[in-house]
Amino acid sequence: MSGEAGTTCRASVGAQDGTRPSPELFGQVVGQPEAVAQLAAASRRPVHAYLLVGPAGAGARQLARGFAAALLCPEGGCGICGTCRRALEGIHQDLTEVERSGAALSVEDARRVVQLAQRRPSQAARQVIVVADIASARLAAPVLLKTLEEPPPATVLVLLAESVPAELATIASRCVRIDLVPVPADVIARWLAARGVEPDTAAAVAEAAGGDVERAVTLSGDAGFAARLDRWRSVPGRLDGTGAAAATLADELLASIDEALAPRRQQQADQSRADAEEAEAHGLRIGGRQEREAQQRREERRWRTDELRAGLGALSGAYRDRLADAAHQRRVDSQAPRLDGRIRQLAGAVAAVDAAAAELVRNPNETLLLQALLVRLSAVVA
Ligand SMILES: [Zn+2]
């Protein structure tokens, strides 16, 4: 990763003619200078399909919208006209964002994409169709393939994927692939700080966001975030060896995760309201309420997991601090050997917390997971 996102974008975008597309189009994209430069260059002579591959929260959606603005704007992406602004908000008539309607992108979803692709643009010279989570299109992939092989002239498809499974190789081979990188915590922290977030908060939320810029933004506006991490850090001192204390703490921590979701739910409610107003003003577009709600549930699931992982990270840190203290004492204390048992216990606690965080991916029953972990940690005298 080289340098700050914003400055790198500015240097690489529009460097040749000094004009279009404007760096403003990618102002919401953090830490993806190469992807930005590739799409900015591609916008001058676009091909029919692009595949943006990158982890959740790395900015694929914002990249796709910036790219769409460059393709739809009569000026090639001025960044200030109504077309650019509407494209960046995802509400331009000739920009369609297709979400999967169920757990995976279905054959029906794919047929809708094919139909949409045949439409003529209504305002701009072309239309852009963004299809989210293309990696889930197992059975639906062959349906899309035909459109990718015989593309309609005025349509540009932008497919988004967190990864490219083997079944998707054929689809991937028909697209220009643009790779996004997980955004390093220090890049997110600097970006947040430049937007007025207090530096210590910026660093803490960037660390907890795991490369997910969206999550970092929400956490930075979440006054309870620091208090929640403190609650996790307080766990070692509050476990007293009894199952009752472990159970109470588990309940409390799970409740704090619900509390963490509150700002997210508010954002979603605002988004739903904006969508409804938009639908009223411009007629319904694809991606109805049910789809939106299903997507919101999936996002909430992911956020719960992320929140729990951030908490476990703080808890692991609390045991690591105790372990470091004990190891230091062991070096300076003449009675040191009596500390060996404690050091072993603390090292075991760190390992147990880290194992629980890893287990979260495979077994997302967070209540059981957390209760079992806290019972195990009860045996460690902090
Ligand atoms: Zn424009």
Expressed in angstroms and rounded, the spacing between residue 194 Cα and the centre of ligand 1 is 25
- Which carries the bigger pLDDT value, residue 363 or residue 7? 363
Count of C-beta atoms within a 10 Å radius of residue 268: 18
Count of C-beta atoms within a 10 Å radius of residue 379: 12
Q: Pick from 91, 224, 207: which is nearest to 215 by CA?
A: 207
Degrees to nearest 5, angle at CA 160 with 268 and 142: 120
> Residue 320 is encoded by which pair of tokens?
């690591």
Q: Pairing relation of β-strands 127-131 and 155-161?
A: parallel
Q: Which range (4-13, 142-151, 174-183, 349-358) has the least confidence? A: 4-13
> pLDDT confidence of 289, banded at 50, 70, 90?
low
Count of C-beta atoms within a 10 Å radius of residue 371: 18
Q: What is the pLDDT of residues 20-46, one digit of tens each?
A: 799 999 988 999 999 999 999 999 999
- Which carries the bigger pLDDT value, residue 155 or residue 213? 155
Decide: 43 and 54 in contact? Cβ < 8 Å.
Answer: no
Q: What is the pLDDT of residues 291-347, one digit of tens each?
A: 667 777 877 887 788 788 888 988 998 999 999 998 888 888 766 777 888 899 999
User: CA 343 to CA 349: how far, in whole Å?
Assistant: 10
Expressed in angstroms and rounded, the spacing between residue 350 Cα and the centre of ligand 1 is 52
> pLDDT confidence of 72, banded at 50, 70, 90?
very high
The pLDDT of 354-364, averaged and rounded, is: 82
Expressed in angstroms and rounded, the spacing between residue 84 Cα and the centre of ligand 1 is 4
> pLDDT confidence of 271, banded at 50, 70, 90?
confident
pLDDT higher than threshold 60 for residue 143: yes
Q: How far, in whole angstroms, is CA 297 from its chain's centroid?
A: 15
Expressed in angstroms and rounded, the spacing between residue 69 Cα and the centre of ligand 1 is 7
What pLDDT, on a 0 to 100 scale, did the predictor assign at position 145? 92
User: CA 361 to CA 359: how far, in whole Å?
Assistant: 5
Q: Which range (89-93, 120-124, 165-169) has the least confidence? A: 165-169
Buried b (16+ CB within 10 A) or exposed e, 339-365: beebbebbbbbbebbbebbeebeeeee
The pLDDT of 157-186, averaged and rounded, is: 93
**Phi and psi at residue 157, to the nearest 5°:** -95, 135
What pLDDT, on a 0 to 100 scale, did the predictor assign at position 19? 56
What pLDDT, on a 0 to 100 scale, did the predictor assign at position 79? 94
Q: Which CATH class is domain 5-182?
A: alpha beta
The pLDDT of 197-204, averaged and rounded, is: 86
Expressed in angstroms and rounded, the spacing between residue 147 Cα and the centre of ligand 1 is 28
- Which carries the bigger pLDDT value, residue 115 or residue 19? 115
First-residue to last-residue Cα distance in the chain: 40
For residue 3, give the DSSP letter.
S
Q: Pick from 114, 117, 107: which is nearest to 139 by CA?
A: 107
- The mean of the pLDDT values for the chain is 86
pLDDT higher than threshold 90 for residue 251: yes
Counting residues of the chain whose pLDDT is more than 90, the rounded percentage is 51
How is 178-210 classified by DSSP, letter by letter? EE--PPPHHHHHHHHHHTT--HHHHHHHHHHTT
pTM: 0.66
pLDDT higher than threshold 80 for residue 148: yes
Expressed in angstroms and rounded, the spacing between residue 81 Cα and the centre of ligand 1 is 4
The pLDDT of 195-220, averaged and rounded, is: 86
pLDDT higher than threshold 80 for residue 366: yes
Return the residue matching tokens 């992911």: 302
- For CA atoms 370, 377, 306, 164, the dihedral sign is negative
Ordered by start, the domain boundaries in the chain are: 5-182, 222-378
Expressed in angstroms and rounded, the spacing between residue 70 Cα and the centre of ligand 1 is 7
Altogether, the residues listed in the chain come to a count of 382
Q: Pairing relation of β-strands 127-131 and 95-98?
A: parallel
